[in-house]
Amino acid sequence: MLPASSAGDRDRAGGGVVKTGSRIALITTGGTIEKTYDELGGVLTNRVSNLDVMLAQLELGGIELSRVGLMNKDSLDLTEADLELIIATVAHYVRDHDGVVVVHGTDRLAETGRLLDQRLSGLRVPVVMTGAMRPYELRHTDATQNLTEAMLAVQVLEAGVWCVMHNRALRFPEVVKDRSRMTFVTEAELTESR
């Protein structure tokens, strides 16, 4: 356990406890985490956001949350204009928030994270990318766990761009999707596993 400061908070640079009243922007772009079952088509689609249902299940006391529903797309369908919009939106919210969480499809999460890391140099707050390998509506989803972890991590990680999922916080640009294990790892870990 890290030592507490005199104010009862821990220093973000070293990782630690959240200060009360954290202003967090939650930017949603879609992805598997937000897929819902379309009974007419018999498929999972990104038509209706279910993130508010997930958020209602979480205890978020002490957080001032700015919910930004930017888009609701499968990340494989993101255009260059969409990526630019995500970058511009994150750049806007890092100015006056203590952290930013971006909910994103996992197929291109690493690509977007690397772009954010390259384009938003000198960040003063953490930007956390998260998503899910299995939709929220499925019984064995990882959506709630990943969202919960991201909401905590964004308050304690040092400034930079991060991927937070499956009980891990990985810093960009060294993040890649391991499709065989259905999780995110560092480039070195992926190389070692081959």
In a domain, 90, yes or no: yes
Q: Is 50 exposed, middle or buried (0-12, 13-18, 19+ CB in 10 A)?
A: middle
Closest Cα partner for 23 from 79, 80, 95?
95
- The answer to whether residue 93 sits within a structural domain is yes
For residue 52, what pLDDT is reported? 81
Q: How far is CA 104 from the centre of its chain?
A: 7
Is residue 4 domain-resident? Answer: no
Output the domain CATH number for residue 180. 3.40.50.1170
Residues 16-59 pLDDT 10s: 555 567 999 999 998 877 756 555 666 555 566 677 878 888 88
Catalytic residues: 32
* pLDDT tens sequence across 132-191: 998 776 678 899 999 999 999 999 999 999 999 999 999 999 999 999 999 999 999 998
- 81: phi then psi, degrees, rounded to nearest 5: -65, -40
Helix and strand element counts for the chain (H, E) = 5, 10
Supply the pTM of this predicted model: 0.84
Q: Say if CB 151 and CB 162 are below 8 A apart.
A: no
CA 117/CA 9 separation, integer angstroms: 27
Instruction: Count how many domains the chain has.
Output: 1
CA count, 13 A, side-chain hemisphere, 68: 22
- C-beta neighbour count of 23 within 10 angstroms: 15
Inside any domain, residue 3? no
C-alpha to C-alpha distance for 100 and 65, rounded to whole angstroms = 10
Domain that holds residue 171: 16-192
